Amino acid sequence: MKAKTLTPLDVGLRVRIVGEVRQVRTPYEGMTLITVRDDSGEIAVAVDETVTMLTGALPEIVEGQGIDVVGAVSLYKDTPQLVPASVADIILSATPPAAAAVSVTSLSEAQNVTLGSWLRLQGRVVAMEGFKSGMKATLDDGTGQIMLVLWDSVYTALENPLAVDVGAEVVVAGELGSFEDELQIVPESFRDITIVAPASEIPWVAVGDLRTQDAGRVVRLRGVLGTPEGFSAGAKALLDDGTGSITVLLWTNILTALDPQPSEGQTVEVIGVIQEYRGELEILPRSTLDWRTGGH
């Protein structure tokens, strides 16, 4: 059976679900809930202390493992869940056996897929920007484009987050959603992202070489910070590299996460998007990973 096909009418039916462990938690003593995802959706597997007392202790279960579980369908607040009769009904593997079954969908085909579906997409990152809770990448596969939403918890958990930037080729699995009529794919875990080809190293530039036509570029600068000045949405400060100066704009979510906090006289390395504001160029770091103190 597929997780998303189960309904309240299936209560009492004994079924088998094969997928990936997404979460393991203990909502209260004596109850373990294992969230399992297959290529159709998620379902909770509920194992209470009665089962473990009669059939043995649960093995160690970690996120990302493959799982093959048989159990009876029950309801929790009108939502189907699976209740195994024995710990032996839960078989674990190192990798999710269902992962390979999810084929890659072209971005043109994704336009006709039902929202909420779990898809696997492949494309090249053609734009990257930060937002309050993470990063947004525009993914292009030659047939269309889609917004890839990377929550902070997903982005920062990547082995090398900076490898996912403009020019990178990635395969991503996630739920198809929409925000302000724009389609987006939202991976739940860093494990949902495979880097086929990393982004090229972001180029170092001199401030004095930047021009208006560089707006939209992602670049890397190194210089000495001036006095930070707060404003309603964050703080800004001049960065001087000896060839010129440019305003660094730090939105509140990035500013508050920096340690140490920006201060006058700091030597910093900054990655960010160049933009023009009122005739002046600015650089906007997109995440805390775009900021490094003590550069040489």
Domain at 50, CATH number:
2.40.50.140
Segment 62-79 mean pLDDT: 92
* Interstrand relation of 218-225 and 193-197 (parallel, antiparallel or unpaired): unpaired
Whether residues 109 and 190 share a domain: the answer is yes
Predicted pLDDT of residue 100: 46
Domains of the chain: total: 3
Domain at 146, CATH number:
2.40.50.200
Whether residues 242 and 179 share a domain: the answer is no
Segment 162-184 mean pLDDT: 93
Is the pLDDT at 98 greater than 50, yes or no?
Answer: no
Do 141 and 114 touch, CB atoms closer than 8 A? no
Range of the structural domain that residue 237 is part of:
207-293
- Please write the tens of the pLDDT for every residue from 14-69: 999 998 999 999 999 999 999 998 877 889 999 999 999 999 999 999 988 999 99
Give the residue among 44, 184, 194, 29 at the shortest CA–CA distance from 107.
184
User: Could you tell me which residues come within 8 angstroms of residue 263 by beta carbon, excluding any fewer than 6 positions away?
Assistant: 225, 228
Predicted pLDDT of residue 271: 95
Predicted pLDDT of residue 102: 60
Whether residues 11 and 57 share a domain: the answer is yes
Whether residues 131 and 157 share a domain: the answer is yes
Give the residue among 150, 134, 140 at the shortest CA–CA distance from 189.
150
Please report whether residue 202 resides in a domain: no
Segment 147-158 mean pLDDT: 94
Residue where the block lists tokens 């399992």 = 36
Whether residues 278 and 221 share a domain: the answer is yes
- Please write the tens of the pLDDT for every residue from 215-234: 999 999 999 999 999 999 99
Question: pTM for the full model?
Answer: 0.73
Whether residues 193 and 146 share a domain: the answer is yes
Whether residues 34 and 65 share a domain: the answer is yes
* Cβ burial 258-289 (10 Å sphere, 16+ → b, else e): eeeebeeebebbbbbbbbeeeeebbbbbbbbb
Please report whether residue 268 resides in a domain: yes
Whether residues 141 and 62 share a domain: the answer is no
Q: Which of 99, 117, 152 represents a domain boundary (last residue)?
A: 99
* Interstrand relation of 280-284 and 291-293 (parallel, antiparallel or unpaired): unpaired
Predicted pLDDT of residue 32: 96
Q: pLDDT category, 258, cuts 50, 70, 90?
A: very high
Q: Which of 99, 125, 141 represents a domain boundary (last residue)?
A: 99
Whether residues 272 and 238 share a domain: the answer is yes
Whether residues 94 and 125 share a domain: the answer is no
Please report whether residue 288 resides in a domain: yes
Segment 275-282 mean pLDDT: 93
Whether residues 164 and 112 share a domain: the answer is yes
Q: How does the average pLDDT of the chain come out, rounded?
A: 92
Q: How far apart are CA 52 and CA 27, in angstroms?
A: 16
Whether residues 228 and 180 share a domain: the answer is no
- Please write the tens of the pLDDT for every residue from 192-211: 999 999 999 999 999 999 99
Please report whether residue 147 resides in a domain: yes
Is the pLDDT at 104 greater than 90, yes or no?
Answer: no
Q: Which of 173, 197, 221 represents a domain boundary (last residue)?
A: 197
- Please write the tens of the pLDDT for every residue from 117-130: 888 999 999 999 88
